[in-house]
Structures are given as structure tokens and as C-alpha cells.
């Protein structure tokens, strides 16, 4: 049997780190979902909007760092949308972006 190589060990460590990070990532995405629902209902307040913007910003960094570089632009787009003070017509793009991030996160790093 061949001895384990360093690349396998690194891959295992990164997978374990991702497994510990995923619940936090999904919690941040849940805040985006909450903001999208509030926006669609016409009751997105400044506090929730700001919280969602911060979580989108954190997701952009975390997901890129953790090996999901395609997720960072999605999160950055949502951050900019929330910075601009979104109107009701932007609820669907916010929902779609959160759904996309969730799907990417659940697939995990390649």
C-alpha cells in the first residue's frame, strides 16, 4: 500500500475546514433569504438590510477563500444591490442570488 501523500492530507484538512464552515455560510445565506422575503413584502427595514449587506460581504470573502471563486461575484452583486437601498422589484434577484449561493455552498469546493 502506498503511503499517503501531502496533497491527500491537505485535501482532507480543507474538507474538514469546509465542513465546519458550512453551517455558518448557510446561516449567512438565511439572512439574505430573510431580507429578500421582507423586501418582497415591502417591509425590509434598514437594520435587516444592513445585516444582509454585511453577510453578503462576508460570504464574498469566505466563499472565495474556501475554494468557491464563482460564488464571490454572486455575493458581491448582492452586497451592491443591498448597498443601493433595493426596491420591491429587486426581491426576486436577491432571492435568486441567495438560492444560487446556497446551491454552490451545498456542492462545496471542487
Q: What is the pTM of this model?
A: 0.89
Q: Does residue 5 surpass a pLDDT of 90?
A: no
Q: What is the pLDDT of residues 25-75, one digit of tens each?
A: 999 999 999 999 999 999 999 999 999 999 999 999 999 989 899 999 999
8 pLDDT more than 80: no
What is the per-residue DSSP string for 72-101? HHHHHHHHHHHHT---GGGHHHHHHHHHHH
Kindly list the domain boundaries of the chain, sorted by start residue: 23-107
CATH 3.50.50 is held by the domain 23-107: no
Q: Is the pLDDT of residue 109 over 90?
A: no
Q: Say if residues 98 and 32 touch (Cβ distance below 8 Å).
A: yes
What are the helix (H) ranges across the chain?
A: 6-40, 46-65, 71-83, 91-107
pLDDT at 9: 80
Interval 66-93 mean pLDDT: 95
Look up residue 5 and give its three cell numbers. 501523500
Amino acid at each position: 500500500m502506498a503511503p499517503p501523500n501531502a496533497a491527500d492530507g491537505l485535501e482532507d484538512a480543507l474538507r474538514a475546514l469546509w465542513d465546519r464552515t458550512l453551517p455558518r455560510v448557510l446561516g449567512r445565506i438565511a439572512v439574505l433569504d430573510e431580507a429578500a422575503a421582507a423586501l418582497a413584502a415591502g417591509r425590509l427595514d434598514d437594520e435587516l438590510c444592513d445585516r444582509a449587506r454585511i453577510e453578503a460581504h462576508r460570504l464574498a470573502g469566505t466563499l472565495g477563500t474556501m475554494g468557491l471563486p464563482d460564488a464571490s461575484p454572486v455575493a458581491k452583486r448582492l452586497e451592491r444591490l443591498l448597498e443601493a437601498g433595493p426596491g420591491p422589484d429587486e426581491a426576486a434577484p436577491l432571492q435568486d442570488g441567495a438560492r444560487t449561493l446556497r446551491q454552490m455552498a451545498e456542492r462545496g469546493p471542487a
